[in-house]
Amino acid sequence: MSTMPTYPAPLPKIGVAAADAYLASGYDSVVGMSSKFAAAVCGRLMRLQTAMGISGPIAEIGTFEGRFFIALGHALEPGEVAVGIDLFDWPNPQVLDRFEANCTRHGLPTERRVTWKTDSRSMRPEDLLARAGGKKLRFFHIDGEHTRDALTRDLERAAAVMAPEGLIVLDDMLHPGYPTLMVALHLWLEKNPEWCPLAVLDRETIVAAPKFVLCRRDWFKRYEEPMLDIFKANIWPLGADFEPHWCLVLGLDTRLAAIE
């Protein structure tokens, strides 16, 4: 006899005490809009990478006050760094001070983070690699300007610095306020067929909108197979159809629509 899935599904554990403690008691205190569920999944994906022998730096475009960045930073291994990239000018220049203070308050040490105040429009891949210690990146979260041109540009820069096994995570996909992001992504995937969607991370609210996780096609199955077990409580049964590619949908509400 099968059992009905629990609703809401549990928040995944990252598997690092500092990271899970931050999600439990610190995440909501940092100003930002990113989903706690997505942070938990992304942190756990980083730990999966570590278990698979994948190491290296990570980066985020659009750190704001550090809510998502801190969670990712706590999932790093000793000696790895997270590069936080932002203009740090909105809503005022003091956002940089708040970012640094939040990182310190929530236990992300200076040796684990690199703060880069810059405009991603002028960012060169070689400059990013230099700040990452000269190593290719294993994880890149893009939460920058939400326009077609900006997302395309950020995808190009991210792909240029990624290790073959790297993951790119895109913010606010399927957000009703930014419908052209999907257009930019599909056009980019058509031009870069070596990349494909690995998972859709479902929304918590309209503000905390879905994220897409991308990987190279030759790594898709190597990630998907362990994810089916790790995230089994969070898998929406029907998956996502990218015509013809299918990938996982992970969420807190995994129920199918009721049919009367």
Does residue 3 surpass a pLDDT of 90?
no
Q: How many CB atoms lie within 10 A of CB 77?
A: 13
Both structure tokens of 193: 């067929």
Q: Is residue 245 part of a domain?
A: yes
Q: 82 and 69 in contact (C-beta within 8 Å)?
A: yes
| Mean pLDDT of all residues in 24-53 | 97
pLDDT of residue 7: 76
Q: Is residue 187 part of a domain?
A: yes
Q: pTM for the full model?
A: 0.95
Q: Is residue 72 part of a domain?
A: yes
Q: Is residue 144 part of a domain?
A: yes
Domain that holds residue 93: 17-250
Q: What value does the mean pLDDT of the chain take?
A: 95
Q: Is residue 205 part of a domain?
A: yes
pLDDT of residue 247: 98
Q: Which residue has the tokens 């899970």?
A: 20
pLDDT of residue 257: 83
Q: What is the CATH number of the domain that holds 94?
A: 3.40.50.150
Q: Is residue 202 part of a domain?
A: yes
Residue 116 CA to residue 113 CA, distance in Å, equals 10
What is the tens place of the pLDDT at every residue in 97-149?
999 999 999 999 999 999 999 998 899 999 999 999 999 999 999 999 999 99
Q: 60 and 68 in contact (C-beta within 8 Å)?
A: yes
Q: Would you state the torsion angle of the CA atoms of residues 135, 141, 147, 152, taken in this order, to the nearest 10 degrees?
A: 40
Q: ∠ CA 110-114-115 to the nearest 5 degrees?
A: 105
If DSSP codes are grouped into helix, strand and coil, which group holds residue 116? strand
What is the tens place of the pLDDT at every residue in 168-185?
999 999 999 999 999 999
21, 50, 33, 32: which is closest to 108 by C-alpha? 21
| Structural domain total, the chain | 1
Q: 117 and 87 in contact (C-beta within 8 Å)?
A: yes
What is the tens place of the pLDDT at every residue in 71-89?
999 999 999 999 999 999 9
In angstroms and rounded to an integer, the radius of gyration of the C-alpha atoms of the chain is 17
Q: Is residue 257 part of a domain?
A: no
Q: Is residue 110 part of a domain?
A: yes
